[in-house]
Amino acid sequence: MFDVLRHKLNRRQFLSAGLAIAGGVAISPRPVFSASSENRKELIRWALLSDTHTPANPDTRSRGFHPYRNLQEAVGQIAPNLPDGLLITGDVARLTGQAGSYENAKELLAPIAQSRPIHLAVGNHDHRGNFLRAFEGFTGDVEHVEGKHVVIANTGPVRMVLLDSLMLVNLWPGQLGRMQRLWLDTYLRSCDDRPTLLFVHHTLGGGSTDMLDADRFLEIIAPAAKVKAVIYGHSHALGFATYKGIHLINLPAIGYTFHDSQPLGWVDTRLTARGGEFTVRAIAGNRKLDGHTQKLAWRS
């Protein structure tokens, strides 16, 4: 899937920098920041996950992987050294968003949720109604966008905005839709200049399985200098690219991989007002990039 994204972005001249997948990594030529020089207000650390595909039946397998056990292992890695928060970019549930999937996800995330904020986006395998009922009361400022789940979190030096690209449950393509795009355009024009990271589930390749209105989304965010990165999942593939200086960060999956070349795991992220460091924590799949850190400077 990420190969499809790369091809279409190149063809349409969306892509202007590097790409990192299991076969080859584009390394930032200079450090973004030194953690030792930052105080707690200037530096935050977040665990970024995607595509947990938590099943209602804990014994469910996908491509030989156990999504329930994978999330359990990821939480086991994160909980002993708690970050400032945790965020999942959709497909929290397995296939059709059954209520039991969300109950299991809540139970597994509980060691972190007890003392840290957790923000969740919806993906194409999530059922919005079941999702909202299960996670009512989770932190973040929920915006009133009809038919969509949009959350804003101002945390330390950056602003996180979770968007909703769910179109139809258990079908691949997604879209923001006219009303959410209008809200986003209005919000970006009116909010302050704090560095802003946008989180959404679907990839931006413009194909039939991606975000169908990706072109209009990119037109909105390109002139908004405060937007520094778009972070998403869906492809079950790790990748780094850019569009007009905006970093496009594709998170690996927790549930299962589509291709054996990809890592399965999460990303340990350190963020400042100037940039971020994204460290891969591979728990299964291709472990070659386990511990690799991608350093990114935000556009000015």
Total domains, the chain: 1
Q: Is residue 256 part of a domain?
A: yes
Range of the domain at 61: 2-28+40-276
| Mean pLDDT estimate for the chain | 89
Q: Which tens digits make up the pLDDT trace of 16-45? A: 333 343 333 332 333 344 444 333 469 999
Q: Which two tokens stand for residue 36?
A: 């030792």
pLDDT for 60-103, tens place per residue? 999 999 999 999 999 999 999 999 999 999 999 999 999 999 99
| 182 domain-assigned | yes
As a whole number of angstroms, the distance between CA 84 and CA 112 comes to 10
| Residue-wise pLDDT tens digits, 106-130 | 999 999 999 999 999 999 999 999 9
Q: So what's the pLDDT on residue 137? A: 77
Query: Is position 283 within any domain?
Result: no
Write down the residue that tokens 């395998």 correspond to. 125
- Is 67 part of a structural domain of the chain? yes
Report the 3 state secondary structure along the chain. Answer: CHHHHHHHHHHCCCCCCCCCECCECCCCCCCCCCHHHCCCCCCEEEEEECCCCECCCCCCCECCECHHHHHHHHHHHHHHHCCCEEEEECCCECCCCCHHHHHHHHHHHHHHHCCCCEEEECCCCCCHHHHHHHCCCCCCEEECCCCCCEEEEEECCEEEEECCCCCCCCCCCECCCHHHHHHHHHHHHHCCCCCEEEECCCCCCCCCCCECCHHHHHHHHCCCCCEEEEEECCCCCCEEEEECCEEEEECCCCCCCCCCCCEEEEEEEEECCCEEEEEEEEEEECCCCCCCEEEEECCC
Q: What is the pLDDT of residue 284?
A: 97
CA distance 4 to 6: 5
Note the Cα 213 to chain centre separation in Å. 18
Does any domain span residue 116?
yes
How far from each other are the two terminal CA atoms of the chain, in whole angstroms? 30
CATH label of the domain that carries residue 67: 3.60.21.10
pLDDT of residue 31: 38
In this prediction, residue 130 carries a pLDDT of 97
94 inside domain = yes
Per-residue model confidence (pLDDT) at position 10 = 39
- What are residue 155's phi and psi, to 5 degrees? -135, 110
The Cα 31–Cα 170 span in angstroms is 41
pLDDT band at residue 5 using 50, 70 and 90 as cut-offs: very low
The Cα 20–Cα 33 span in angstroms is 21
Calculate what percentage of the chain has a pLDDT beyond 70: 86
Note the pLDDT tens digit of each residue in 139-198.
678 998 999 999 999 999 999 999 999 999 999 999 999 999 999 999 999 999 999 999
Which pLDDT band holds residue 2 (cuts at 50, 70, 90)?
A: very low
User: Does residue 150 sit within a domain?
Assistant: yes
Tokens read off for 279: 């460290």
Residues 138, 69: Cα–Cα separation, whole Å = 23
- What are the beta bridge partners of residue 281? 266
Instruction: Identify the CA nearest to 132 among candidates 159, 155, 151, 160.
Output: 151
pLDDT digits (tens, 9 = 90+) for 210-260: 999 999 999 999 999 999 999 999 999 999 999 999 999 999 999 999 999
Q: Which amino acid is at 192?
A: D
Asked if 267 and 280 count as a contact pair (C-beta separation under 8 A), the reply is yes
**Does some domain include residue 262?**
yes
